[in-house]
Structures are given as structure tokens and as C-alpha cells.
Amino acid sequence: MIQQAFAEKATRIFEPDDNVIGLAVAGSWLTNELDEFSDLDLILVTKRKVSGDKRLMLDYANRLGNFLSGFTGEHVGEPRVLICLFDNPLLHVDIKFLTLDEFYSRIETPTLLLDKGGQLEAVISNSEAKFPYPDYQWIEDRFWIWIHYALLKIGRGEYLEAYDFMGFLRMLVFGPLLHIKNDNLPRGVRKVETDLASKDLAKLKLTIPAYDRQSILDSLRNAVSLYRQLRSELFDDKVSLQSDTDQKVMAYFNDIENRQ
């Protein structure tokens, strides 16, 4: 696989660097799911901090081969990641730049490719990977206001805004909750086509509208129905339900739907 060849090359290149403590790989590598469409998730651990200095981050990336371009990952809340595209072969590579102290906090335990003095293994032995799970109360406090927001856009005729908003709900609410229901990690809508039960995928697909007012309203109502089902299956009694907001928003839903 081209990802494995790239990772082996990166290991050889970084090994002589005195600032490099180690190199690790994460993502689909860990679950043996690499295929021709997989990117490569590298973690470079250094003595001196590299993240925060884009020039240094790019310098490290340029060592690895035919570097085309790259940018930092602020848009996904991770500015320590340089998202890169290399050529010959064309390959997407994410490089996360960490110090040894930062390596303690992780969402999964990576495979170590280079570990000078066993420092990375020592960190792994003395820490625990914790994948972030959604806060159900956080979702419940926002969900009905989000539905109201979508109704405002539909009412005004901003159908494209409402259409795109359905994708937001799938990524932030339905994908993670359905993954949890199916005993998967809550990775948004990643691999829902293969990792969800067929009946759950069918319900999720009902939240995908056509560019049409009624279709968007139907998909939004399906979204409400799906949320209520997931809420009853996953939430415990510690989650305070926003029942009054729910009632008022759904009355407004009926009002908007009945307008011509």
C-alpha cells in the first residue's frame, strides 16, 4: 500500500533528526482498513514545539517527498495538524505535530514507527486514550433552537441554507448518536453506509431532502422523529429535556408547513 511505503520512508527520514523523539501512525491504519482511498495520519513528536509555526511545519512536510501543498487544521479545531497533499504517488497525509507532554492526551493509541529511547511507549503505558463522546445535554439544549432556525430559513424561502443545515444536523447529531447506538465510535457520518444497521441508515437517509420546500420540511420532520427515537434509546434521566421549547417549536413547525 502506498500509505505504508510513505510511512516507512518518513520513519527513515526523521530518524536522524535530533529534534524528533518519535513518529506514530493512527487512523484506519490501526484497524487494518487501509485501502486505495485512505489518507495517512502521522503523529510527529518533537523535543521543541513545531506546531504554531507554519513555516517549520511545512519544512518537515517538504522533507517527505514531492510536497504539493498543505494547510493547518483550524477548521476542524486542530491547528497542530498540517493537512498535506503529496505527489508521485498522489496521497493525502495529515501530520500532527506534538511535544512529548502533548502526546499524553489522545483519542486512540497509535502504532509507533519510531520511538527513541522508548519515550512514546512510556507515555502510552502511563496514560489512557479517550475518544470524545457527545454531551447529550449539550445536544438537547440546542436541538429545538436549531430546528426553529431551519424553519425560519424555510419560511423566508432560503431553501439552500435550510438544505445545507440538514447536513450539519447529520454530522453533529444523527451520525454520532446512530454510531453510538450501533456500538461504534461517534465519528460523525464516517462510514455510516457500512457501520450502521440497515434500518438505521434508512432513517438517516430520510433526513436528506431534495431542493424543494416540501421535501425540506419532510426531511426536517423526519429529523425530529429520528432525534426523539434516539433520545429515548440513549439518554438517561440525568438529561433535562427541553419540553416547553420542543412544544413551542413544533407548533411553529405546523404553522410554517401550513403556509402556502
The predicted model gives 80-88 an average pLDDT of 97
Q: What is residue 32's predicted lDDT score, i.e. its pLDDT? A: 85
Q: Are residues 162 and 204 in the same domain?
A: yes
CA distance 230 to 149: 21
Task: Choose one of 95, 125, 155: the last residue of a domain.
Answer: 125
**Domain-located, residue 44:** yes
Q: What is residue 158's predicted lDDT score, i.e. its pLDDT? A: 98
Q: Are residues 141 and 121 in the same domain?
A: no
Q: Are residues 173 and 206 in the same domain?
A: yes
**What percent of the chain has a predicted confidence (pLDDT) above 70?**
100
pLDDT tens-digit map of 192-202 = 999 999 999 99
Residues 6+ positions from 117 with CB-CB distance below 8 Å: 21
| Long-range contact pairs involving 65-70 (C-beta distance under 8 Å, separation at least 24) | 65/6, 65/9
Q: How confident is the model at residue 124 (pLDDT cuts 50, 70, 90)?
A: very high
pLDDT of 260 above 80: no
Sheet with 91-99: strands ordered across: 66-73, 78-87, 91-99, 40-46, 20-26, 111-115
Q: Are 22 and 9 in contact (CB under 8 A)?
A: no
Q: Are residues 156 and 243 in the same domain?
A: yes
Q: Are residues 25 and 95 in the same domain?
A: yes
CA distance 235 to 113: 40
pTM of the model: 0.88
Of the candidates 6, 13, 10, 3, the residue with the CA atom closest to the CA atom of residue 36 = 3
**Domain-located, residue 227:** yes
**Domain-located, residue 130:** no
Task: Choose one of 125, 155, 170: the last residue of a domain.
Answer: 125
Beta bridge partners of 91: 86
pLDDT tens-digit map of 138-194 = 999 999 999 999 999 999 999 999 999 999 999 999 999 999 999 999 999 999 999
Q: Are 80 and 98 in contact (CB under 8 A)?
A: yes
Of the candidates 80, 83, 86, the residue with the CA atom closest to the CA atom of residue 99 = 80
Amino acid identity for residue 42 in this structure: L
Neighbours of 21 (CB within 10 A): 22
Tally of domains within the chain:
2
CA distance 106 to 128: 8
Q: How confident is the model at residue 76 (pLDDT cuts 50, 70, 90)?
A: confident
Q: Are 177 and 230 in contact (CB under 8 A)?
A: yes
Q: Are residues 242 and 195 in the same domain?
A: yes
DSSP β-ladder status, 111-115 and 66-73: unpaired
Q: Are residues 8 and 117 in the same domain?
A: yes
Q: Are residues 99 and 153 in the same domain?
A: no
CA distance 187 to 40: 17
CATH number, domain containing residue 106: 3.30.460.10
Q: Are residues 181 and 209 in the same domain?
A: yes
Query: Would you say how long the chain is, in residues?
Result: 260
Task: Choose one of 96, 125, 154: the last residue of a domain.
Answer: 125
Q: Are residues 10 and 104 in the same domain?
A: yes
**Domain-located, residue 193:** yes
CA distance 13 to 43: 14
Q: Are residues 236 and 210 in the same domain?
A: yes
Three-state secondary structure of 126-194: CCCCCCCCCCHHHHHHHHHHHHHHHHHHHHHCCHHHHHHHHHHHHHHHHHHHHHHHCCCCCCCCCCHHH
Q: Are residues 240 and 142 in the same domain?
A: yes
Which domain does 65 fall in, by range? 2-125
Q: How confident is the model at residue 33 (pLDDT cuts 50, 70, 90)?
A: confident
pLDDT of 102 above 80: yes
pLDDT tens-digit map of 20-32 = 999 999 988 888 8
Amino acid identity for residue 146 in this structure: W
